[in-house]
Chains A and B, each alone.
Chain A
Amino acid sequence: GQSLEQPSEVTAVEGAIVQINCTYQTSGFYGLSWYQQHDGGAPTFLSYNALDGLEETGRFSSFLSRSDSYGYLLLQELQMKDSASYFCAVRGSMDSSYKLIFGSGTRLLVRP
């Protein structure tokens, strides 16, 4: 089967650092992506890891360990606008880059 596990909710304080974990079990794996989605909005791309290690993009970083089937998204210097749902997604096909298998999402609440 295909499954991705991530915490359902995380709460953090403005200015802090938060880590959202994702473990996956999929029949194919070609990379792990992270998307942000505000209520009523479109998912927007944040980060992508095809190889083990850390990718940094501004305040956001993403990590992947293929041997552990595990990744995380790290958000630094949290801002109120970061309150949203965050989804990890596995690229499960070599032929189509965006045939993605999504987790159920982590709802992040940033408090003042």
Chain B
Amino acid sequence: GAGVSQTPSNKVTEKGKYVELRCDPISGHTALYWYRQSLGQGPEFLIYFQGTGAADDSGLPNDRFFAVRPEGSVSTLKIQRTERGDSAVYLCASADTEAFFGQGTRLTVV
């Protein structure tokens, strides 16, 4: 595709539910990053993939958060037992010589 695509654009879920957020990177980009952005704040690093493997997951806040990239392209961020504090915009970026961000998924936990 022409850019990084994230789906859904908006997700409302109940506290305690499981959610999956999808990222389609720019074709050919081997590096993929997940960030989380709260209102009025800058993006906060979560996890970085180089190919299929998670090269750095030090930003994941706890073990309810997990991400995969099984074929080195599409990535899915998975959040178990969602909490209201998980509400934020989840951004994905893919990179070669420059990082390109998607529009994000706005997650609201009610």
Q: How large is the interface on B (under 10, 10 to 19, 20 to 34, 35 or more residues)?
A: 20 to 34
A window 47-68: CB within 8 A of B:
none
B window 18-47: CB within 8 A of A:
31, 33, 40-45
Asked if B33 and A99 sit within 8 Å, CB to CB, the answer is: yes
Contacts of B56 in A (CB 8 A): 93, 95-96, 99
Q: Tally the A-B contacts, defined by beta carbons under 8 Å.
A: 56
Q: CB-nearest residue of chain B relative to A102?
A: B42
Asked if A101 and B45 sit within 8 Å, CB to CB, the answer is: yes
- Binary flags per residue of B92-106, CB closer than 8 Å to A gives 1, else 0: 010100111111100
Asked if B42 and A45 sit within 8 Å, CB to CB, the answer is: no
Asked if A41 and B103 sit within 8 Å, CB to CB, the answer is: yes
The contact of A102 among B44, B95, B100, B103, by CB within 8 Å, is B44
A41–B3 Cα distance when bound, in Å, is 13
A54–B88 Cα distance when bound, in Å, is 35
A window 22-53: CB within 8 A of B:
40-45
Q: CB-nearest residue of chain A relative to B50?
A: A96
Contacts of B31 in A (CB 8 A): 96-98
A109 CB within 8 Å of chain B: no
Asked if B42 and A104 sit within 8 Å, CB to CB, the answer is: yes
Number of interface residues of A (CB under 8 A): 21
Contacts of A102 in B (CB 8 A): 41-44
- Of A42, A44, A102, A103, the most chain B CB neighbours within 10 A belong to A42
A87–B91 Cα distance when bound, in Å, is 15
Asked if A42 and B102 sit within 8 Å, CB to CB, the answer is: yes
A95–B99 Cα distance when bound, in Å, is 15
Asked if B98 and A45 sit within 8 Å, CB to CB, the answer is: yes
- Binary flags per residue of B53-94, CB closer than 8 Å to A gives 1, else 0: 001100000000000000000000000000000000001010
Chain B residues in the interface with A (C-beta under 8 A): 4, 31, 33, 40-45, 48, 50, 55-56, 91, 93, 95, 98-104
Chain A residues in the interface with B (C-beta under 8 A): 4, 40-45, 87, 89, 93, 95-105
